Amino acid sequence: MWISLSAGRTTGLSVPAIIGGWVRERITQPVTRHMARVARVAAVTVGTTLLLSANLVSAAGFEVGEKVFVPMFEPNPELDGYAEGFVEQVHDDGTLTLRINKVQTGKGKTLSGTCHPSGGTALSGAKIVSDDPEDLVVEQRLPVDEVMTYRRGSQLYLKRENLSIAYLKYLGSGMGMTPDRFDVAIRRAEEVGLPGMVAAMGIGKMQMESTQGRGFPVPASRALQKAAPMLDAVAAKLEAHPESVEAAARMLGGTTPEHRDDPLAAVVVRLHELLDEQLGELAQQSSDPREVSGYSADELLAIYTGWFRVITANDTRSFQNADVGYYRERAAKALDNGEWPALK
């Protein structure tokens, strides 16, 4: 959704009410978490004096009247937003006064107000400059490190948007997600500094390649042939991302609603869905897993065990207060009894 603050005439609500709702909403959005983290790290590393000097140099690089881009980026680029405006003043303290006339909200977000405002966002405290419904404008003063040139910011946003498209395609049908497309997505995630998305797309590629489908659907009898080693490799990779594994475990355990705020957690949940569908397809062949064509009980147990390693980050985290050994033993008993084990 994009909002042009110079758009057509509004009826039914007063301009102050419209702008007030818009500003309140922007106050509540986590506008520049990434940029704020960068600023904090820089302050610790080089000290307050050097940081101020750097800001002065950067501020001098902007000119009055220049069009600029204010990023509102999130760990998941699907939720990215931004604001556009023009430089009104360049200050000696490394800040810029901007006139903002367009806001692009993150997908799924709204511009409704809230009774729980919070500071720390790029539009917090914005001043209403024009109450003309034909030319609504707000003014804001921001540190220069929260502002980009329009060309650089818009190009970065587009790169993140293209990454988001690949990510959502994999979470959906996965059709057309070839190894090359995953490689492009991984490279883009590296370029824009999203390690969680790098890992998410890397795991998506591993899963896709294991099915031997190259972006096209294949029957479960083929898709699961290389599932066990793939799952073991994924589990080893996830050891470095315990927070995402725990988030996925909460979603699968039903204690947290499913969401895509954490791309890696969402991919782990998607991996579970794919395995559940594929094993369900095998179960349609025979209600007794010991009689499924092409798979022995031991081979099926290896697939289940691989998944349990995934959801415990290679047995470094418990899943619903149990470890891999517990789930493996439970699955083995079910298979011995001619029953299909549960994945969770």
Q: pLDDT tens digits for 90-100?
A: 999 999 999 98
Confidence of residue 127 (pLDDT cuts 50, 70, 90): low
Give the pLDDT mean for 202-231.
Answer: 93
Confidence of residue 216 (pLDDT cuts 50, 70, 90): confident
Q: Which range, 26-35, 59-68, 304-313, has the best average confidence (pLDDT)?
A: 304-313
Which has more confidence, 56 or 331? 331
Distance CA 297, CA 303 (A): 10
Q: Tokens in use for 158?
A: 């587009």
Cα 187 to the center of its chain, rounded Å: 16
- Is 33 in contact with 81 (CB distance < 8 Å)? no
Convert the chain into a string of H (helix), E (strand) and C (coil).
CEEECCCCCCCCCCHHHHHHHHHHHHHHCCCCHHHHHHHHHHHHHHHHHHHHHHHHHHHHCCCCCCEEEEEECCCCHHHCEEEEEEEEEECCCCEEEEEEEEEECCCCCCCCCCCCCCCCCCCCCCEEEECCCCCCEEEEEEEHHHCEEHHHHHHHHHHHHHHHHHHHHHHCCCCCCCHHHHHHHHHHHHHCCCHHHHHHHHHHHHHHHHHCCCCCCCCHHHHCCCHHHHHHHHHHHHCCCHHHHHHHHHHHHCCCCCCCCCHHHHHHHHHHHHHHHHHHHHHHHCCCHHHCCCCCHHHHHHHHHHHHHHHCCCCCCCECCECHHHHHHHHHHHHHCCCCCCCC
Residue 53 has pLDDT above 60, yes or no: no
pLDDT of residue 102: 82
pLDDT of residue 140: 87
- Is 159 in contact with 192 (CB distance < 8 Å)? yes
- Percent pLDDT > 90 in the chain is 62
pLDDT of residue 8: 37
pLDDT of residue 112: 35
Distance CA 212, CA 230 (A): 12
**Dihedral sign (CA 35, 40, 43, 46):** negative
176-194 pLDDT, tens digit each: 899 999 999 999 999 999 9
Give the pLDDT mean for 105-113.
Answer: 51
Residue 201 has pLDDT above 90, yes or no: yes
245-292 pLDDT, tens digit each: 999 999 999 999 988 889 999 999 999 999 999 999 999 999 999 999
pLDDT of residue 211: 93
The mean of the pLDDT values for the chain is 81
